[in-house]
A and B are shown apart, each in its own frame.
Chain A
Amino acid sequence: GQQVMQIPQYQHVQEGEDFTTYCNSSTTLSNIQWYKQRPGGHPVFLIQLVKSGEVKKQKRLTFQFGEAKKNSSLHITATQTTDVGTYFCAGRQGGSEKLVFGKGTKLTVNP
C-alpha cells in the first residue's frame, strides 16, 4: 500500500537555527499536504502542494514538492519557540481518496 516516510523523527535546535523535515513516498502523489500539531493539540492544516516542482512560502516556512511528485520538504528559517510542535506531511496517491500521513517530525526549540 501507499507509504509516506518522513525524516527525521526528532529535531532539536537552538532558537534562530534553521530546520528542515523531509517526506518521501514510494509512489507518485497527486498532492501533498503539511500539518502542524502543537503539544497536546490536534493537527492544523498548513498548506497543500499539487504541481511538480512547486515551491510555496508562508513567512519563514518554505514548502517544496519534488519534480517527480514523490518527495517534499518543509524548511523553517530562523526558528522561534512558537515553532515547537510536530510537523506531518500527508499524501494522496493519484486516483485514491485516502490521505496517508507520515509519522511526523517533532521539533523542539531551545531558547
Chain B
Amino acid sequence: NAGVTQTPKFQVLKTGQSMTLQCAQDMNHEYMSWYRQDPGMGLRLIHYSVGAGITDQGEVPNGYNVSRSTTEDFPLRLLSAAPSQTSVYFCASSYRLTERNYGYTFGSGTRLTVV
C-alpha cells in the first residue's frame, strides 16, 4: 500500500494563478480531509469529505474548492492564489471516526509558496 500520496511536494505560484493539489489514497478510507499548517497556528481544516460525492467546509474554506468523485481521490483547487495561501498543505484519510482506534493517515505534504 502506498498510503496517502500528495503531489506536488513543492510549488511556487504567482498571485492570481490557479492550481490543483492532488491527493490519492489506496486504503479504501471513507473520510478524507485537507488541512493547512502555518507556524503557530497548528493544523486548520479546509474541507473534508465523508464519502464519494459528499464534501463539506472546514474552518478555513475560502479560496479553496474540493470534489470527491471517487473514494480514492480528493483534489484541492486554489481558484486564484493569494500570498495568504502560502502554507504547507496536508491531505489525510481515515476510516469512519468511530470508536475503533483509527486515526487519520497523513500524506507527506505540499509546500506552497505564493509570490
Q: Which residues of A contact B (CB under 8 A)?
A: 1, 6, 9, 31, 33, 35, 41-48, 50, 88, 90, 92, 97-104
Contact = CB atoms under 8 A, between A and B. Distances in A.
A98 B45 contact: yes
A44 B4 CA distance: 12
Contacts, number: 65
Interface of B: 31, 33, 35, 40-45, 48, 50, 56, 58-59, 90, 92, 97, 99, 101-109
B22 to A, nearest CB: 16
Contact of A45 (B40, B43, B105, B108): B105
B45 to A, nearest CB: 6
Given A43-B43, A88-B42, A99 B50 contact: no
Contacts of B44: 101
Nearest to A100: B45
Contacts of B99: 31, 50
Contact of B48 (A35, A46, A98): A98
A57 to B, nearest CB: 14
Contacts of A1: 59
Contacts of B56: 97-98
Contact of B107 (A9, A42, A98, A101): A42
B101 to A, nearest CB: 5
B81 to A, nearest CB: 23
24 contacts: A1-B59, A9-B40, A35-B103, A35-B104, A42-B90, A42-B106, A44-B106, A45-B102, A45-B104, A48-B101, A50-B99, A88-B42, A90-B43, A90-B104, A92-B97, A97-B48, A98-B48, A98-B56, A98-B58, A99-B33, A99-B97, A100-B59, A103-B40, A104-B43
